[in-house]
């Protein structure tokens, strides 16, 4: 009988412990968060004070050594012309250099090698007002690749920080507006996603090639940098 009483007592203790553990487990279940999402935007127009030009030299020759020598000679002349305009060495950066073999596909048979091609391009950082002169001088010195001109502003990061702050404030105001008439308030931020746009890129036209006698007209205009942020707030 004593053994039966002991067994019953152990069963009671086990049940009590199980109930306590179950209650504790329920108490520790993660709270289901309720969120409200809003999109905020901000933009600012600016007049660019920096320009980036991507230009270069492409040469063809029957032998790869000849193509490389011709390319180097022409490119050295281009660099000298740019520096004569006041462009500093630290503002000229190689953007691509590659060697490829040329083939003739016109015979209708297997492609026939016809020689070699060497391409060397650089990115030049300068002031917008000197872009036209650089295009003109580069063309006269032998530039036969002119990819693009892009305009930017030197204090871009400072501008982006201000726009991000404004966009977040805009998103918060919109989220609070959706809670009007309720007892809820905005809690912590759950997630943020930002989408940036701008500035613009101007691609070269036919006037950017060859040794033109007059400067190519280049206008920076007014650019716009904008950001859109998607923010989720926890509801309190």
Percent of the chain residues past pLDDT 90, beyond the cut: 62
Percent of the chain residues past pLDDT 70, beyond the cut: 78
* 95-109, 123-137, 154-168: least confident range: 95-109
pLDDT in tens, 5-15: 444 443 444 44
Does 203 score more than 90 pLDDT? Answer: no
Residue 185 in any domain: the answer is no
Residue 7 in any domain: the answer is no
Alpha-carbon gap, residue 78 to 139, rounded angstroms: 8
- The three-state secondary structure class of 87 is coil
Residue 118 in any domain: the answer is yes
- The three-state secondary structure class of 95 is strand
Q: Which residues contact 116 (CB under 8 A, 6 or more apart)?
A: 60, 61, 62, 63, 64, 66, 67, 99, 100, 101, 102
Alpha-carbon gap, residue 191 to 29, rounded angstroms: 22
Tell me what pLDDT residue 217 has: 72
Tell me what pLDDT residue 220 has: 75
Residue 73 in any domain: the answer is yes
Note down the domain range covering 60.
49-154
Residue 135 in any domain: the answer is yes
Residue 69 in any domain: the answer is yes
User: If you search the block for the tokens 């702050």, which residue do you land on?
Assistant: 165
Buried/exposed 160-184: b ≥16 CB within 10 Å, e otherwise: eeebbebbbebbbebbeeeeeeeee
Tell me what pLDDT residue 218 has: 73
Tell me what pLDDT residue 19 has: 47
The domain that contains 117 carries what CATH number? 3.30.70.2970
Alpha-carbon gap, residue 220 to 201, rounded angstroms: 10
Q: What is the DSSP letter of 76?
A: H
Residue 146 in any domain: the answer is yes
Is-contact 227 41, C-beta < 8 A? yes
Considering the chain, what is the average pLDDT of its residues? Answer: 84
Tell me what pLDDT residue 236 has: 87
Does 32 score more than 70 pLDDT? Answer: no
- Binning pLDDT at 50, 70 and 90, where does residue 130 land? very high
- The three-state secondary structure class of 107 is coil
Is-contact 88 122, C-beta < 8 A? no
| Domain count for the chain | 1
Residue 136 in any domain: the answer is yes
Among the listed residues 102, 22, 7, 52, the one whose alpha carbon sits nearest the alpha carbon of residue 218: 52
């Amino acid at each position: 009988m004593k053994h039966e009483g002991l067994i019953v007592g152990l069963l009671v203790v086990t049940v009590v412990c199980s109930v306590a553990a179950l209650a504790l487990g329920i108490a520790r279940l993660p709270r289901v968060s309720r969120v409200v999402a809003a999109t905020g935007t901000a933009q600012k127009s600016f007049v660019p004070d920096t320009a980036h030009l991507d230009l270069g030299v492409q040469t063809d020759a029957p032998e790869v050594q000849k193509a490389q020598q011709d390319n180097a000679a022409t490119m050295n002349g281009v660099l000298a012309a740019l520096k004569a305009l006041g462009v500093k060495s630290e503002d000229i950066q190689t953007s691509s250099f590659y060697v490829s073999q040329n083939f003739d596909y016109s015979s209708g048979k297997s492609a026939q090698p016809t020689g070699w091609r060497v391409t060397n391009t650089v990115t030049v950082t300068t002031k917008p007002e000197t872009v036209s002169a650089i295009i003109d001088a580069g063309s006269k010195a032998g530039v036969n690749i002119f990819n693009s001109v892009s305009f930017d502003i030197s204090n871009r990061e400072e501008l982006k920080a201000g726009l991000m702050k404004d966009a977040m404030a805009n998103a918060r105001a919109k989220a609070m507006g959706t809670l009007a008439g309720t007892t809820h308030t905005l809690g912590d931020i759950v997630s943020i996603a930002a989408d940036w746009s701008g500035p613009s890129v101007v691609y070269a036209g036919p006037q950017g090639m060859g040794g033109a006698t007059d400067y190519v007209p280049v206008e920076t205009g007014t650019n716009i940098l904008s950001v859109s942020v998607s923010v989720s707030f926890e509801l309190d």
